Amino acid sequence: MNTRHVVVETHLGSITIVAEDETITGLYFRHHVRRPPHETFGPEAADSTDALLGEAVRQLRDYLAGERRQFDLPLAAEGDSFQHAVWDIVKSIQCGDTATYGRIARQLGDPGLAQKVGQAVGANPLCILVPCHRVVGAGGALTGYAGGLKRKRALLELEEPPARDAGRLF
């Protein structure tokens, strides 16, 4: 197993991207809720010599500059089957759109699962890449984000289509 990481300085703060072999396995803010211990990230790699991490950094920078709306990276998140079902739905939320925990629960076939959906969204180890910031509370309320609500708001504002400025997403 070849686990390594790179730290990217952004206007949202330091972001750590973790890779294992040929997949991206984590993306974490410095004070990320449920951030694994640093020693599990492996050695720091130079994004200029690691093709996968270099591409991840390039795509992240392009996204944060408003020049990219989706990512094209091999992802491998560690989680159980329910979490993966939730994360698959989260991946399908288009840039500029949002979904509620309740809507995702209904897509899974049980509206009573909204709280469990929230837990799965909160456990997403690939924030931004699996866009859990696009999941909001009922009525569009900004609720919970492992990177903090200020970052969630900033990401949603970054993605907000110009034509919809008057009818905000949140």
DSSP class per residue in 22-52: TEEEEEEETT-TTPPPGGGG-SB--TTT-HH
Whether 1 and 46 have beta carbons less than 8 Å apart is answered as no
Whether 15 and 7 have beta carbons less than 8 Å apart is answered as yes
By annotation, the residues acting in catalysis are: 132
Alpha helices in the chain (DSSP H): 51-64, 81-91, 101-107, 114-122, 149-159
**Which pair of structure tokens corresponds to residue 59?**
């795509």
d(C-alpha 14, C-alpha 128), whole Å = 13
DSSP letter assigned to residue 146: T
